[in-house]
Amino acid sequence: MSILVTGGAGYIGSHTVRALESRGQEVVVLDSLEKGHRQAVPNSPLVEGDLGDASLLDTVFRDFSVNAVVHFAAHSLVGESVKRPDIYFKNNVGCLFTLLDTMRNHSVDRLVFSSTAAVYGEPKEIPIPECHPKTPENPYGESKLFAETILRRHSEAFGLRYIALRYFNAAGADPAGGIGEDHTPESHLIPLVLQTLLGQRPHIEIFGTDYPTPDGTCIRDYVHVNDLSDAHILSLDALSAGAPSTAYNLGNGRGFSVREVIHAAEKVTQQTVPVLSGQRRPGDPAILVASSEKIQEELRWKPKFPDLAAIIETAWDWHRSHPNGFRSQEAKHGKGGPRS
């Protein structure tokens, strides 16, 4: 029996695959490798393919005796989603039906779903609880909210049991090494700051300095990727024990402005980052900070990296040892990485 991890060669996916493997769980990864990296999954079987490919999914479920699914595969960039809503709705919503149909055909009823703080839109209260109104400001958040609605209706009609995990800002890397954040092009704040510190970029541009926040820059709640992967394991365990379908926020409950993140990175690395002030990025709410009390109470989730500096340190270790991301490993071990 295997757990299918869609998008398991991506950033949060590969950390969750590693966490599952360390519990002795059999895993099969399905990833298009459009954004994921083969080297991020050195141990479990990796099937390269598209989530919308019904016959491939059917084969994977049969060949690997899939009995639960952790579904990461999605497009996940706010800015890109504003420019290409078509791709976001097709991929994040359309392909979900292929997965749910296949699960039903194979009598698989447990699903952990990657959702996002972007489902809330501009917050009306901080920290944001799960019951907060959902008025996403961009197609990415909207696509995830549609997906959650589809899951809820499938749960009511067909007995699907799911847990949707609404991540705030994923950051850091597994301190055990070998995997970390590697997007092309990179668009996330912490990797961009660290790449600037490594001399790979001339400066970091702050997207908006006129937000209604104390220093005028956006505030986000950064949560370590290993704490996210822990939450997936707890969710799978809860579903196995018969827990009902629900959604949980995942964040540390503390917000940091863009300027505070830059200063924290400067402190960790003992270097100065060249900074430019730029325009707001469309679709960005001013403040997003999670209340994660619900998952802390119900599943006993407790972040192991509640401190921003500790999160940045793990990211810095990854970026320093892999200045070109997974391509750094190719250079060391030949194309395809150590085990491919």
CB distance 30 to 60 below 8 Å: yes
Q: Which is nearer to ligand UDP, 137 or 205 (CB)?
A: 205
Read off the tokens for 218: 């956006």
- 295: contact with ligand UDP by CB under 6 A: no
- 290: contact with ligand UDP by CB under 6 A: no
- Tell me, residue by residue from 154 to 193, as one string, x for binding to ligand UDP by CB under 6 A and - for no binding: ---------------x-----------------xxx--x-
Q: Determine which residue in the list 206, 223, 228, 295 makes contact with ligand UDP, applying CB under 6 A.
A: 206
Segment lying near ligand UDP (by CB under 6 A), choices 64-72, 88-96, 198-206, 231-239 = 198-206
Read off the tokens for 49: 């393919």
Read off the tokens for 129: 């609880």
CB distance 197 to 273 below 8 Å: yes
Instruction: Spot the catalytic one: 11, 140, 162, 222.
Output: 140
Distances (CA, A) of 314 to 20, 225, 290: 20, 10, 22
Q: 45: cis peptide before it, omega within 30°?
A: no
| Catalytic residue check, 140 | yes
- 258: contact with ligand UDP by CB under 6 A: yes
Query: Least CB distance from residue 193 to ligand UDP, whole Å?
Result: 8
| Minimal CB distance residue for ligand UDP | 218
Query: Least CB distance from residue 72 to ligand UDP, whole Å?
Result: 15
Q: Which is nearer to ligand UDP, 313 or 330 (CB)?
A: 313
CB distance 325 to 182 below 8 Å: yes
Q: Specify burial of residue 279 (Cβ count, 10 A radius: 0-12, 13-18, 19+).
A: exposed
- 37: contact with ligand UDP by CB under 6 A: no
CA dihedral 298, 303, 304, 309 (to 10 degrees): -170
Q: Determine which residue in the list 31, 182, 284, 313 makes contact with ligand UDP, applying CB under 6 A.
A: 284
Read off the tokens for 151: 């899951």
Reduce the DSSP state of residue 66 to 3 states and report it.
strand
Q: Determine which residue in the list 21, 53, 101, 205 makes contact with ligand UDP, applying CB under 6 A.
A: 205
Q: Note the residues at the interface with ligand UDP (CB under 6 A).
A: 78, 169, 187-189, 192, 204-207, 218, 220, 258, 281, 284
